[in-house]
Amino acid sequence: MAYYKPCPEFDRCNELIRKYWESRQYDMCFSGHMELAEKGYPLAECQIGYFYLEGFGVQKDLEKAFYWTERAANHGDRDGQYNLGLFYEDGIGVERDLKKAKIWYKAAAQQGQDLAINKCRDYQVQI
């Protein structure tokens, strides 16, 4: 959690997780995160991508999952960058593209994202 700087948006994301995710009120958790994502908060954008990917609180939609994950990645969220790498690697909501996957894994790894670091090792990508 030290990766995210303290701010009201971060506090709100944590509050939504505690209040709604843990009690499986996914629709309320989604709604609260969407408010923050629409304002451009990268953590919320990444979470919205996950909600759409898995169908938590919203109908599963791989195109929307890709859109929100890409938005988080472009806003510098390291988990969004790693997840976008997975989307490209596995062809989730987008055509499979290993070259782009490696680019996003590298971006996330450069920010210390452990899973991305492992992917870079697997693919022999210099960090």
pLDDT in tens, 35-81: 999 999 999 999 999 999 999 999 999 999 999 999 999 999 999 99
Helix (H, G, I), strand (E, B) or coil at 116: helix
Question: Can you tell me the distance from the alpha carbon of 61 to that of 75, in angstroms, rounded to the nearest whole number?
Answer: 21
d(CA 38, CA 10) in angstroms, rounded, equals 14
Answer whether residue 2 is part of any domain: no
Pair of tokens at residue 76: 């510098």
3 pLDDT band, cuts 50/70/90, is confident
3-class secondary-structure state, position 62: helix
> 20 falls in which pLDDT band (50, 70, 90)?
very high
Share of the chain above pLDDT 70, in %: 99
Residue 25 domain flag: yes
- Crossing angle of helices 26-38 and 8-16, rounded to 10°: 160
* Domain around 47: 8-123
Q: Is residue 86 part of a domain?
A: yes
Write out the two tokens for 17. Answer: 């997780």
What's the number of domains the chain is made of?
1
Residue 62 covered by a domain: yes
